[in-house]
Amino acid sequence: VTDRRRAAVLGAGGYIGQEFARMLADHPYFDPVLLVSGDRTGGRRLEEVWHLAEEVPAALRSQRLVAATPKAVAAEADIAFSALPGGVAVPVESALSRLGVAVFSNASDHRADPGRPLLIPEVNPEHLGILPRGSRSAPIITNPNCSATGLAIALKPIVRPLDPRTVHVATYQALSGAGFPGVASLSIADNVVPFIAGEEEKLARETPQLLGSPRGRRIVPAAITIHPQCARVGVREGHLEAVTVLARRRPTLAEITSAWRSFDPLAGLALPSAPHPPIALRAEADRPQPLRDRWAGEGRARGMQVVLGRVRWTPPTLRFFLLSHNAVRGGAGGSVLNAELAEAKGILGARPSRGR
């Protein structure tokens, strides 16, 4: 009998940690046996600390969050999904990797490390090739910044037809992007804050890296300059982005929309959380909207589709809006899909067979 892999969720009391619990509770490959807390939620049942709008998953409702050292995690789990804050993540995730636990991380700490793949399965699966071969440590695979995720998915199909030189992007980012409890209500009600610490730097650095190519054990970034301007808005979930692409080539508008519509690079792989297609193109004049489009995608892939709209092509300038669920596509769901791809590619080794 082949069982689900035993999984730990690190930072399970926070926003992304709870999305992990929601997405993994009945996952066909991974069984969340351990919910690891920080100081605030330690010792409490998941239902007592739950703050997502969706129901707490029945299978995990009574499970207690526990403090656990990397050694204690490694004794229980084969794989870890990490929602640890930046700064805290490196020592914990590195220790787990050395103990043979594969880590799928949301933290920005490892993203600049040239030996760690920054992965979106539809965009750059070939970047997994930079993982060291024959290493005794288990892999650490990170997903990119939540705004860079939506942008890289939207740009990937049009890189070839347009050959973008420069991309300007203005973001309208949801409150949950700052975690729980996040931005103080009196700072954001009746307001828009035109600054998110470190966000513009992450978008500018990670997007060309995601669209880049492996050379040996390194990734050579794509020759595209990103000019971001990031703002926090009073929306609960879903990052909206206004994108302006300056192109070197001049395809027709039909060629551009067809590149988006036909994009489905994971079509043959049957990964449980992969949306098909990963991009939904809306024709209405007033879409995408966070309220209406954040949960695009079906079944396990709910919230995993990136929704595009308001496409305008005045060569050499392409303009459009995109919407991507920051905590699902840009957070927990991105890591779960990365783990599903790693499983499908045999990177996690044989599935455990424990018998019953």
Ligand X SMILES: NC(=O)c1ccc[n+]([C@@H]2O[C@H](COP(=O)([O-])OP(=O)(O)OC[C@H]3O[C@@H](n4cnc5c(N)ncnc54)[C@H](OP(=O)(O)O)[C@@H]3O)[C@@H](O)[C@H]2O)c1
Q: Using CB under 6 A, list all residues that contact ligand X.
A: 10-11, 13-17, 36-42, 83-86, 88, 106-108, 146, 176-177, 179-180, 326-327, 330-331
Catalytic status, residue 239: yes
Residue nearest to ligand X according to CB distances in the complex: 14
Least distance (Å) between residue 17 CB and ligand X:
6
Catalytic status, residue 230: no
Least distance (Å) between residue 209 CB and ligand X:
16
17/117 with CB nearer ligand X: 17
13/251 with CB nearer ligand X: 13
Catalytic-labelled residue, pool 27, 110, 127, 239: 239
Least distance (Å) between residue 130 CB and ligand X:
21
d(CA 93, CA 316): 44
88/131 with CB nearer ligand X: 88
Least distance (Å) between residue 64 CB and ligand X:
12
Catalytic-labelled residue, pool 127, 146, 230, 325: 146
4/111 with CB nearer ligand X: 111
> Which burial class, exposed, middle or buried, applies to 13 when counting CB atoms under 10 A from its CB (0-12, 13-18, 19+)?
buried
Catalytic amino acids? 146, 239
